[in-house]
Amino acid sequence: MNADESVIGRIETEVALLMRFGEATRRAIPVEAHRSLDRAAYVILRHLDEAGPQNVSALAARLNLDGSTVTRQVGAMERDGLIAREADPSDGRGTVVSATEAGLRRMSVVRGARAEVYEEMLADWSDHDRAELATLLARLNEALSARSRARRRS
């Protein structure tokens, strides 16, 4: 095995562990805020909060999910009062979804609870190391997203 393969192997292992520990941490923390939204609803609400109202196709594309998956999630979230559907102002035949005030409040509570966990876990990290981690995770997520988009197009 050459040095590059060794580094890629380490990355693969660390990402696998990150996903496993992240989910285990979320489930193990006995704070209701962490459990008040499932992962999909949280991600959808975060995106709607940042990007504004979206049609389901745009949401699916941004989140690298199948449209039918997002449609089911949006339906459940609408029943829970977390999002609302309304006519698309640019095309009256379509609809857009937007976060409701209740959805934004729940998302904010979850976001704050998660931030507390990460603040505690990274308390002894320097500001530089925290910033570097954020930058590298954003790059990794963008690479994963680009790969997923490319695979869907082919």
Q: What is the pLDDT of residues 8-46, one digit of tens each?
A: 999 999 999 988 888 777 766 666 665 678 888 999 999
3-state secondary structure of 59: helix
Indicate if 42 and 22 belong to the same structural domain. no
Task: Assess contact for 4 and 43: CB atoms under 8 A.
Answer: no
Number of structural domains in the chain? 2
Indicate if 55 and 3 belong to the same structural domain. no
110: its two tokens = 């979850």
Which residue range is the domain that position 5 belongs to?
Answer: 1-30
3-state secondary structure of 31: coil
Indicate if 51 and 97 belong to the same structural domain. yes
Query: How far is it, in rounded angstroms, from Cα 111 to Cα 117?
Result: 10
Is the pTM higher than 0.85? The answer reads: no
Indicate if 41 and 95 belong to the same structural domain. yes
147 found inside a domain: no
Indicate if 16 and 69 belong to the same structural domain. no
81 found inside a domain: yes
